[in-house]
Structure 1
Amino acid sequence: MTGSDGAVDVRSTLQRMRRRGGLPVAFGGLFSGSRQFRISELTGTTTNSLRGLAVIPGNGLGGKVLTMSRPISVADYPASRAISHEYDAAVGAEGLRSMLAVPVVVRGRVRGVLYGALRQPLMLGDRALSAAVAAARELEQALAGQEEAQRLLTVARQQPPSVEETDPAVWEEVREAHVDLRALAHRVSDPQLREEILSACGRLARASSGHGRERARRRERERLSGVNLSPREVDVLACVASGATNSAAAERLGLRPETVKSYLRSSMRKLGAHTRLHAVVEARRAGLLP
């Protein structure tokens, strides 16, 4: 799912925040490359008075959250002395009174703000605040995953040298990047980015062919060309290749240990392998793993 803020779906997150927190109105957004923060998504509103509103750090409730990097709430927005009132017209046009705002923080930097509001001057309770904080954490995890995927893609796009020319330690880094990329692919919501990640995974897997052994490897790949592993079977083998136990692979991939065992048994059967290590070797010969 994608939203107006790129691969991270802010609107769906706000809708979940409303349901969980019993909030009639929720809105917010993320920084879009510039230093200026604008409200880009609205849910439960009756006007567009807040859409596109540029919030300056320090100004209003959201601006104070941008500056202080912590959740803040006010029981009656237009009458509150805890905030400045540059945005009273936009807030008043929507008829909002009680309001909370929470920051979306990734690696110590505020990336956006989420707001929840009532049309009555009431103190918002723990349920609403907890829902807003949980929604912010969801966006933080999605943004962190997206950034990590982009970082690993940058590494993957660099032409890896042949096996004969690569220091074993460097090649292990390539294999570790391959595992991380495959695990991230299932957590990225943007289909285009996910496809690019999986394409990079295939490129890393094919890079394991050394020039001096290419003919022998080609014969092995032809022998194994009929092997059709599912994406999850490849994910599990990639984790096994990095030395992960079944439990560690399950945690990394967000699966149950029993499910990991099932995928591993299935891939071993398809590859004609009798051990985990044998399965990894055969998968590499087939060009499925780096």
Structure 2
Amino acid sequence: MPVTDPGPAEDVAEVRRALVRLRGAAQVPLSFGGVVTDGRRLRMTELVGNSTTSLLGLVVAEGKGLGGRAIGVRKPVVLADYYTSEAISHHFDRAVQAEGVRSVMAVPVIVSRTVRAVLYGAVREHVRFGDRSVTAMVEVARDLEQELAIRAEVHRRLELLAPAPDVATGEPADRETVRESHAELRRIVASLDDPDLRDRLDAVCRSLAGGAPEGPRPTLSARELDVLAGAAAGQTNADIAEALGLGAETVKSYLRNAMRKLDAKTRLQAVNAARRANLLP
């Protein structure tokens, strides 16, 4: 079989982390999987709890084997007995047998209607997966879908800014693109659990806002800046609350604090003051 691109390194790393969580959440001794290219072809790159490397590097096309069936039907597939199942083709029996897999489940990870990865959980004996194990595996896959969707949106926003326009001298449309992207990236940062990615996006947001001006500038908390970025993008308090998962009164409190720190009497004055301080683009 031809070897396909295993996908962006960060996607592969996310699949690995998901498989570690899946193994514990579903209480299965073995989990494995990989990234899907073009929504149709999986390369097995990640093994957790394996005793051999027989599954490593397998390329699974849509419709082939358990993973290929999961890609094709776009929903989880559970087999109590892999070897006797008539629901799948048996292209990979030799590799599966070498690892000792007997009962197995495959869950596709779907982002924007495209299969981006497949996660497997397996047991080396004949068992029937209980509802708790199935639910746990599906929840891990859904969490991975959300993480990959966030990363995709980050990349899309950054592509809109490449080459990045000069905020100070660019045309109004360029400035608006930067400001809208900055506000969206701030919302994404607020939703992230990954501290490394959050720090990287914080740095991108700071670069979009520009360098530090001469003299001291106000210090806004991350949440105050998130709320102010939404206001700068023309969002109402209700819009900001929904986007950030906050209560309306909490948004008002953050906005009041930001206005006080910026010595502003209105939200527009606060936005303009934040822009002069290079806190917002």
Q: TM-score range by the shorter chain?
A: 0.7 to 0.9
Question: Is residue 206 from structure 1 mapped to residue 210 from structure 2 by the alignment?
Answer: yes
Runs of 5+ unmatched residues, structure 2: 1-6
Residue 177 of structure 1 is matched in structure 2 by: 181
Which of residues 262, 265, 271 is equivalent to 1:274?
A: 265
Check whether the contact 1:145–1:188 (CA below 8 A) recurs between aligned residues. no
The alpha-carbon deviation at position 237 of structure 1 amounts to 0.8
Cα deviation code 1:88-122 (max 9, x no counterpart): 12211222111111111111111111111122222
Using structure 1 for the length normalisation, give the TM-score: 0.80
Check whether the contact 1:157–1:200 (CA below 8 A) recurs between aligned residues. no
Matches within 5 A, 1:68-107: 68-107=73-112
Cα deviation code 1:212-250 (max 9, x no counterpart): xxxxxx9xx546x33222333222210122233444324
Instruction: Tell me the amino acid that sits aligned with residue 18 of structure 1.
Output: R
Using structure 2 for the length normalisation, give the TM-score: 0.82
Question: Is residue 283 from structure 1 mapped to residue 251 from structure 2 by the alignment?
Answer: no
CA distance 1:22–1:196, change in 2 (3 Å): closer
Cα deviation code 1:65-99 (max 9, x no counterpart): 12222211111001112112121122112221111
The alpha-carbon deviation at position 141 of structure 1 amounts to 1.3
**Is 75-84 or 40-49 further displaced after alignment?**
40-49
Distance in 2 (CA, whole Å) between partners of 1:4 and 1:41 is 14
CA distance 1:106–1:242, change in 2 (3 Å): same
SS of residue paired to 1:112? strand
CA distance 1:58–1:227, change in 2 (3 Å): same
The alpha-carbon deviation at position 194 of structure 1 amounts to 5.0
Runs of 5+ unmatched residues, structure 1: 208-217
Residue 146 of structure 2 is matched in structure 1 by: 141
Instruction: Tell me the amino acid that sits aligned with residue 103 of structure 2.
Output: S
Check whether the contact 2:167–2:175 (CA below 8 A) recurs between aligned residues. no
Cα deviation code 1:136-158 (max 9, x no counterpart): 11111111111111111111233
Q: CA RMSD in A?
A: 3.1
SS of residue paired to 1:79? coil
Check whether the contact 1:149–1:181 (CA below 8 A) recurs between aligned residues. yes
Distance in 1 (CA, whole Å) between partners of 2:39 and 2:141 is 20
Matches within 5 A, 1:162-241: 166-167=171-172, 171-186=175-190, 187=192, 189=194, 191=196, 197-206=201-210, 221-222=213-214, 225-241=216-232
CA distance 1:268–1:162, change in 2 (3 Å): closer
Residue 71 of structure 2 is matched in structure 1 by: 66
Runs of 4+ in 1 over 4 A off after TM superposition: 32-36, 161-165, 193-196, 254-259
Q: Percent identity?
A: 47
Cα deviation code 1:21-43 (max 9, x no counterpart): 23232211113689742122222
Check whether the contact 2:26–2:134 (CA below 8 A) recurs between aligned residues. yes
